[in-house]
Amino acid sequence: MSKWTVLPASLMLMVGASATVAQEVAVAIAVPCVTPSEAEALVGAVIPELITNVGGICANALPPSALLRQTSGPFIDRYRAEAELAWPRGRTAIGKITGPDIASMLDSAFARPLLGTLVTPMLTRGIQPGDCAAIERIVQLAQPLPPRNAAALFVSVIQLVDAKHTDRQKPRLPICPQGTR
């Protein structure tokens, strides 16, 4: 199964389909693109889980005081508040990617944290401990920004990294080319 089909397959599993059915459905799904604004909302909706995931990857490479390793306090609380605000727009982006059948199941209070757990490994794939100091520096520089701006910055970094891949690896987020929807 390709790396990008993990999200639709995971969502199918979330709603009770078997792994085999989920994989077959995921392979058959042509993943549409989302606008940069929709991608930013999706990242904003899962940013607490994203920070936690990167913090776990970087646990042995960064000191306990690093922002990426914070699991409580003002830094992460700002992103948790933004996640709740971004969720309606992020849910719309997920619905665009997965289709209306899955989108209707995202109204549960458990959908956002569960989705965050499923999406963040795709967004953080390829991060190595040697990358952690640079990522921590980016997070430190983004810290004074409003969380929505930080999410937009992170989407821009993801786009930049994905654009540099020459191995035809699927992008982390299927963001529409400029001028399309």
DSSP 18: -
Supply the pTM of this predicted model: 0.73
- Tell me what pLDDT residue 146 has: 94
Enumerate the domain spans of the chain: 35-163
Query: How many C-beta atoms lie closer than 10 Å to residue 83's C-beta?
Result: 23
Q: Encode the chain (181 residues) as per-residue pLDDT tens digits.
A: 444 444 544 544 445 544 444 444 444 445 588 889 999 999 999 999 999 999 999 999 999 999 999 989 999 999 999 998 998 898 888 888 877 777 777 777 778 777 787 778 888 888 899 999 999 999 999 999 999 999 999 888 888 877 776 565 666 778 887 655 5
- Cβ density class 140-168: b for 16+ within 10 Å, e for less: eebeeeebbebbbbbbeebbeeeeeeeee
Burial class (CB in 10 A: 0-12, 13-18, 19+), 20: exposed
- Tell me what pLDDT residue 30 has: 54
State the Cα–Cα distance between residues 20 and 123, nearest whole angstrom.
24
